[in-house]
Amino acid sequence: MKHLLSTQDLSLDEAILVLDTAAQMAATQSREIKKLPTLRGRTVVNLFFEDSTRTRISFETAAKRLSADVINFSAKGSSVSKGESLKDTALTLHAMGADAVVVRHWASGAPHQLAHSGWLGSGDSPVAVLNAGDGTHQHPTQALLDAFTIRRHLVGRAGGATGDGVGRDLKGLRVAIVGDVLHSRVARSNVQLLRTLGADVTLVAPPTLLPVGVETWPCATSYDLDETLAHWAPDAVMMLRVQRERMSGGAGAFFPSPLEYSRRYGLDHRRLAMLPGHTVVMHPGPMNRGLEISAEAADSTRSVIVEQVANGVAVRMAALYLLLAGGSPAEGSAI
C-alpha cells in the first residue's frame, strides 16, 4: 500500500494484514514502555480541515507511540482561513519534509486529490496519505478499528478461545448498522470492508436517511429495527450518530421529531433485551445519548464503545507502520 484512502481499495489479504499488524501493535500497548522506535526520524502531519477530537488525538498518539515527529495542522487560525488553497498547503508540507499526511476534510475526495495530484512528491517518492474522514465518503481507519473490535470479540474469543482472531476473516458474522446512513462515511466504509471480510451487513434506517442508490451496495436494507433484531439476530449492532449539523433543515427535515426517531430507531432497554447473548453494541462516537442510543445501552456490559477508541490507536499504528516502514508483518521487525 502507498496510501490508505478507502476500504474499497483493500483486498482481503491487505485487510487481514492490517488487522493482524494491529493485533501486534495492541500487544505492545500492554507493556510498561509503550513507545516503539519504528518510525524514529519520520514526520507525520495531521492535516485537519474539520473539527475532530478522538480521530486527531488517536492518530497523534499512534504516531508518537511509533516515535515519529508529529505536526498538527488545523485549518482554523491557519493560512487556509486567509484563502490558501489545498494545493499550496500541500506544497508547503512537502517542502517541510513530511513523510505522511493524515487528512480530514469536509469535501469528499480531498485525500484522493492529495495522493494523486503530485503536490506531495513524485511517483518515485510519494508522501503517504491517510484518509481520516472526507465528507460523506470514507473513513477507512474507523472501519478497520470496528472490524478489529468485532474480530476480537466474535472470532478471537468465540467458544472461550483466546487471542485476537489473528489471520481470520469475519465470514458468517451478521452486522446491523443503524441510523443516519445518508450522512455517514463510517457506514460506507464499514459496508465495503465488512463485505470484503465475509460478513453480512444490514442497514437499518428511515427511508429519508438512506442514500439514493443504496440498493447497489453489497448489503441488505430495512426500515424496521425491531424486525431486524428479532428475526435476523445480528452478532454486532453498530449505532450511527444522527448528524444534525449536516441536516440543513434541522432534524425535523429528515424525521418528524427526535422522540419519534428514538422510538423507532434508538437502541434502548427493550431492544437491548432482544439481542442474542453474544451480540456486541458499537458506536463510532461521539454519541447523542437519548437519541440513537440510551445511556443504559451505551454503558451496558455488551457495549464495546470505549474499547473501540483504544483499538483505534493500535489500528492507526498499524496503518502508519505498514505505509512508512514496509508491508511485512510487524513481528520480527524492529518492533
Q: Examine the residue annotation and report whether 139 is marked as an active-site residue of this protein.
A: yes
Of 53, 82, 162, 231, the catalytic one is 82
Query: Is 331's pLDDT higher than 50?
Result: no
Domain 3-137+310-326, second-level architecture: 3-Layer(aba) Sandwich (3.40)
Q: Which residue has the higher pLDDT, 254 or 192?
A: 192
Spatial CB neighbours of 91, under 8 Å, sequence gap ≥ 6 = 119
pLDDT at 164: 81
Query: Is 159's pLDDT higher than 90?
Result: no
Using DSSP, how many helices (H) and how many strands (E) does the chain show?
11, 9
- How does strand 100-105 pair with strand 43-48? parallel
Topology given in CATH for the domain delimited by 142-305: Rossmann fold (3.40.50)
Average the pLDDT over 171-195 and give the result: 97
Maximal C-alpha separation, the chain: 58
User: Predicted confidence band at 208 (pLDDT cuts at 50, 70, 90)?
Assistant: very high
Residue set of the binding site: 54-55, 82, 104, 139, 142, 185, 241, 285-286
pLDDT at 123: 65
Q: Examine the residue annotation and report whether 40 is marked as an active-site residue of this protein.
A: no
pLDDT digits (tens, 9 = 90+) for 58-73: 999 999 999 999 999 8
CB 319 within 8 A of CB 141: yes
Q: Which residue has the higher pLDDT, 319 or 83?
A: 319
Residue set of the binding site for carbamoyl phosphate: 54-55, 104, 139, 142, 285-286
Of 55, 89, 149, 279, the catalytic one is 55
Of 3, 56, 137, 139, the catalytic one is 139
SS3 content of the chain, % helix, strand, coil (to 5): 45, 15, 40
Ranges of beta strands (E only) in the chain are 43-48, 69-74, 100-105, 128-134, 174-178, 200-204, 220-222, 236-239, 280-282
Which spans in 29-103 are helix H? Answer: 54-65, 86-95
**Comparing C-alpha atoms, which of 290, 284, 305, 310 is closest to residue 52?**
284
Domain boundaries, the chain: 3-137+310-326, 142-305
Cα-Cα-Cα-Cα dihedral sign, residues 309, 315, 321, 324: negative
Average the pLDDT over 79-96 and give the result: 83
Distance from C-alpha of 138 to C-alpha of 111, rounded to nearest angstrom: 10
Q: Examine the residue annotation and report whether 141 is marked as an active-site residue of this protein.
A: no
Average the pLDDT over 98-120 and give the result: 94
Q: Percentage of the chain with pLDDT > 70?
A: 92
pLDDT at 300: 97
pLDDT at 7: 97
Distance from C-alpha of 269 to C-alpha of 87, rounded to nearest angstrom: 50
Identical fold, 3-137+310-326 and 142-305: yes
- Cell digits of residue 316: 492507526
Which letter does DSSP use for residue 37 in this model?
Answer: -
Average the pLDDT over 11-38 and give the result: 94
Judged by average pLDDT, the poorest of 25-29, 50-54, 80-84, 137-141 is 80-84
Which letter does DSSP use for residue 48 in this model?
Answer: E
Residue 274 C-beta-side C-alpha neighbours within 13 Å? 16
Judged by average pLDDT, the poorest of 30-39, 96-105, 159-168 is 159-168
Of 104, 137, 153, 283, the catalytic one is 104
pLDDT digits (tens, 9 = 90+) for 209-221: 999 999 999 999 9
Residue set of the binding site for L-aspartate: 82, 185, 241
Spatial CB neighbours of 76, under 8 Å, sequence gap ≥ 6 = none
Map grid coordinates 443516519 to a residue. 180
Mean pLDDT, the chain, integer: 91
Q: Examine the residue annotation and report whether 82 is marked as an active-site residue of this protein.
A: yes
